[in-house]
Chain A
Amino acid sequence: MFEAILLTIVTAATPLVIAAVGELVTERAGVLNLGVEGMMIMGAVCAFAGSYLTGVPVLGVLCGILGGAAFSLLFGFLTLTLVANQVATGLALTLLGLGLSGQIGESFVGIPGVKLQPIVVPVLSDIPFIGRLLFAQDITFYLSIALVVGVHWFLFRSRTGLKMRAIGDNHGSAHALGIHVVRTRYLAVMFGGACAGLAGAQLSLVYTPQWVENMAAGRGWIALALVVFASWRPWRVLAGGYIFGAVGILQLHAQALGIGIPSQFLSMLPYAVTIVVLIIISHNRRTTLINTPACLGKPFVPDR
């Protein structure tokens, strides 16, 4: 029973971690993409379509990634090339994604999907208790962990990551140093889109292997809150993703056990926790200054 609950928590947390890590990179480059929900749902429908049409779920995952990335390119073009307002464009992207995915997925409704099979690591998966939990999961789980480790290394150990942080901190100075601000931001936006797409693929191929309209169900927004919660640090995204995922699952179990907490209260918990965290981190201005990308959401137009 306990292990089963932990397993569902892992499955619930994985899409949050993946989408949030992608958005973290986008925001570290100074771009605020509020369209995570839209990119995620596009990833979900593309992944389901890819998996259903080819019969190979892994190809579905690839379709999800590409779908999310391609959809984010629209956001990139509007906000980076045409310098449209990032908040408005992000919201529009979510609305567009919800509508468009519904249209694309209309014929998939009710069709049973193909579940992405777990990859069982020999020996390690035989470790009691944690073995099944950590080493008999599908590829999206392994990718979520690899992404957290990789993004941390990229941002804080690699020179390209340093440049990206520099762009997020002060794009004017970065431009003056000869760093390609717009190009880097395009890549960061597309990375965020690809991650949101992968998170969507996890939803339609692992979490509930079918296509349901609006199946992202607000997870994109939780991922956005998670980035702030984590104060733009990858490891904290991982921890926060599991806390938020656990809250979601416990809410279901609390209902099943008839515990008298209104479900609405539990579903608002992630957001309430994020607000509390925001208050706590804004209290320490120094850490905020050093972690928050100062140029977040600001338009950049090179002066030439």
Chain B
Amino acid sequence: MSEAQVPEAGTLLKVRGLTKYFGSFAACNGIDLSIAPGEIHALLGENGAGKSTLVKMLFGVLQPSEGQIVWQGKPAVIGSPGEARALGVGMVFQHFSLFEALTVAENIALSLDPKIPLAKIAEEAKNLSRDYGLPLDPNAHVADLSVGERQRIEIVRALLQNPKLIILDEPTSVLTPQEADRLFETLFKLKAEGRSVLYISHRLEEVQRICDRATVLRHGKVTGACDPRRETPASLARMMVGSDVAGVERASDTPLGDVLVSVKDLAVPARTPFAVTLSGISMQVRAGEIVAIAGVAGNGQGELFDALSGEVTVPQDDAIEICGRPVGRTGINGRRLLGAGFVPEERHGHAAVSDMALSDNLLLSRSTSDRKAFLSGGVFNVIRHDVIRSIAKRICGEMDVRKSGDDPAAGSLSGGNLQKFIIGRELDRKPQVLIVNQPTWGVDAGAASRIRQALIDLARAGSAVVVISQDLDEIFEVATSIAVISEGRMSRPYAAGELTLEKIGLLMGGIHDSTSPREAVHAH
């Protein structure tokens, strides 16, 4: 630190050689980065590239092992988030750091000067949120708010501290296209005020649209610094992934077969105050078809998946039919026996038991449907470990699952690799029907394209596929038809070519086709 510090005009934040070790593993390795005032700077990278570690160091949540942070020309040690805020750094986390039991105003008050009275904070939050186009009720309990509204709290909370630099971690992943547009307007407003934004994303189109410069990370190192507007999505992706991402090959005119999934006026009451009531959901999925269900998080996707998979059964047996058999009252294993496969949203704790080996996880999901192959000894149900391990190995080979060791615990795999295994576990059965919720959520670009290709190939081979997803790029890539879910009600499926982003956005906002017969039945 003895070298002379040259004051650097025109640079708000400069990072030199920033490194963070977890044990012997370098999550960030010699990162260099500089951000100018009034700049929207993108931080690009796959999952596990070190983006989160880097911003946690900038926000004082983690301490760097080596390297230097220079803030407004002066070397700074950011020991805690409080110190970061005092310097003028605000952060909007990807996983919200909100307190569900507290009100909006109380949540905001926690990060402000304790001398400011709560009533004043509530007033300011209300005004500021309105000015920036992100309206909020300061007295609502967070537990009652939607994901999009929760994000607004985070943004308003950061803005109330009048920061010079705002860090946003994957902010649009929970927003509709219209909400995202509104957020971008807010960001441009901030930029016009001379504030800087560090924008973390893996959505290339977005980064190209709003960011002035981009820094790309891979495996904890900077692999590129560029003006994203001068790059192509392919060249940016190459910097992120290190090789060209295989484009997904669309199914060309697969002949459609019989109806394999049929849902007729499905209604499921909410089981908790925070759950969504499903009503009047109808669709038919034919062999060879991929129906994608778009929608903003928290509009009933989880509830719909539970109903389709049989985790939650409904009293009307014929509300759901799989392969022509009414299954409304049949549980998940009964539906699997009919040839259906299911992949839920949460990898850890729902789709897989993190502490158990991959082979054990394979057994857990398929012990009924594949009992002849997996179990022996009649009533004793002795586990045939050798068979299960070899199938687990086959799945890993088929889906290119990168892992350490022969049969590691599910939790030791990266998100993308575990997701490939979980999807592969179903595909390995060659299911006639596959229902997937958020197949590539938080998965790196390479794994995502692999998974999408696998879904398309399955449909091409004559299966019916339902993909519930928030990722519109993904939906347009794989779907043959698209339905939109909003507040527990679903639009009719449209042919993929019929829909534009704008149209989907309107449907996401709950503006349903006026010709839809459900509209009349469920009008309030």
Contact = CB atoms under 8 A, between A and B. Distances in A.
A162 B141 CA distance: 14
A233 B273 CA distance: 22
Contact of A179 (B60, B98, B110): B110
A170 interface: yes
B337 interface: no
A160 B63 CA distance: 26
Contacts of A177: 81-82, 97, 110-111
B81 A176 contact: yes
B101 A285 contact: no
Contacts of A290: 100-101, 141, 143
A172 interface: yes
B437 to A, nearest CB: 23
B93 A163 contact: no
A12 to B, nearest CB: 33
B211 interface: no
B85 interface: yes
Contacts of A166: 99, 102, 106, 110
A169 B98 CA distance: 9
Contacts of A178: 60, 80-83, 85, 111
Dominant SS among interface residues on chain B: loop
A289 interface: yes
A286 B273 contact: yes
A159 B81 contact: no
A289 B143 contact: yes
A172 B97 contact: yes
Nearest to B116: A159
A294 B81 contact: no
Nearest to B273: A286
B62 A304 contact: yes
A303 B62 CA distance: 7
B116 to A, nearest CB: 9
B335 to A, nearest CB: 28
B221 to A, nearest CB: 22
B483 interface: no
A169 B81 contact: no
A185 to B, nearest CB: 16
B114 interface: yes
Contacts of A285: 272-274
A169 B100 contact: yes
A297 B99 CA distance: 17
Interface in A173-214: 173-174, 176-179
Contacts of A159: 109, 114
Interface residues of A, number: 25
Nearest to B141: A290
Nearest to A293: B101
Contact of A169 (B60, B80, B102): B102
Interface in B84-100: 85, 93, 96-100
A169 B82 CA distance: 20
Contacts of B83: 178
A291 B99 CA distance: 12
B99 A169 contact: yes
Nearest to A159: B114
A150 B310 CA distance: 51
Interface string A278-304: 000000011001111110000000011
Nearest to A232: B101
Interface string B105-120: 0100111001000000
B353 interface: no
A163 B97 CA distance: 14
A165 interface: yes
Listed residue (A159, A165, A286) with the most chain B CB atoms within 10 angstroms of its CB: A159
Contacts of A176: 61, 81, 93, 97
Interface in B208-258: none
Given A159-B114, A163-B110, A177-B110, A304 B101 contact: no
A130 to B, nearest CB: 36
A165 B109 CA distance: 13
A303 B111 CA distance: 20
B114 A289 contact: no
B267 to A, nearest CB: 21
B61 A173 contact: no
Contacts of B109: 159, 162
Nearest to A156: B106
8 contacts: A165-B99, A166-B110, A169-B99, A170-B99, A176-B81, A178-B111, A285-B272, A290-B101
Interface of B: 60-63, 80-83, 85, 93, 96-102, 106, 109-111, 114, 141, 143-144, 272-274
Given A177-B97, A178-B60, A291-B101, 10 more contacts: A159-B109, A162-B109, A162-B110, A163-B110, A166-B102, A166-B106, A170-B98, A173-B99, A285-B274, A303-B62
